[in-house]
Amino acid sequence: MSRRLHLAAFVAVGLAVAAALAFFVSPHASGEPDGLERVAHDQGFADREAGHPLGDAPTADYAVEGVDDEGLSTGLAGLLGVAVTFAVTAGLFVLVRRWGGRRGPGPGAGSPGALASPGSAAGSRGPGSSAPFGPEPPGPESPARA
Amino acid sequence: MHLPDGFIDGTTSAGAAVVAAGGLGAALRRAGQVLDERRVPLAGLVAAFVFAAQMLNFPVASGTSGHLLGGALAVVLVGPSVGAVCLAVVLIVQALLFADGGLSALGLNVLNMALVGGCGAYVVFAGLRRLLPARPPSVVVAAGVAAGVSVVLAALAFTIEYALGGTGGASVAAVAGAMVGVHALIGVGEGLITALVVSAVLATRPDLVWGARHLASPAPSEAPAPGAAVPAREAS
Q: What is the Cα gyration radius of chain B?
A: 18
Best interface-test mutation with A: which of B29, B73, B103 has the largest number of A CBs within 10 A? Answer: B29
More confident residue, B223 or B140: B140
Indicate the pairing of strand B64-66 with strand B58-61.
Answer: antiparallel
**Chain A residues within an 8 Å CB radius of B16:** none
Cα separations in angstroms, B59 against B7, B52, B167, B176: 24, 17, 27, 21
Q: Which among B1, B64, B79 has the least Cβ separation from residue A32? A: B64
CB B4 within 8 A of CB B105: yes
CA distance A66 to chain B (A): 15
Is A26 an interface residue toward B (CB < 8 Å)?
yes
Report pLDDT digits (tens) over A85-118: 999 999 999 999 888 655 544 333 333 333 333 3
Q: pTM for the whole thing?
A: 0.84
When CB atoms are compared, the residue of B25, B50, B56 closest to A26 is B56
Each residue of B123-166: pLDDT tens digit? 999 999 999 999 999 999 999 999 999 999 999 999 999 999 99
Q: Choosing among A25, A26, A96, which should be mutated to test the B contact, i.e. which has the most B CBs within 10 A?
A: A96
The pLDDT-based confidence of B232 (bands split at 50, 70, 90) is very low
pLDDT tens for A24-63 read 999 999 999 999 999 999 999 999 999 999 999 999 999 9
Residue of A nearest to B16 (CA): A132
Q: Do A11 and B44 touch (CB under 8 A)?
A: yes
Contact A132 B44 (CB under 8 A): no
| Distance from the A128 Cα atom to the nearest Cα atom in chain B, whole angstroms | 9
- List C-alpha distances in Å: A115 to A73, A101, A118, B5: 44, 7, 9, 38
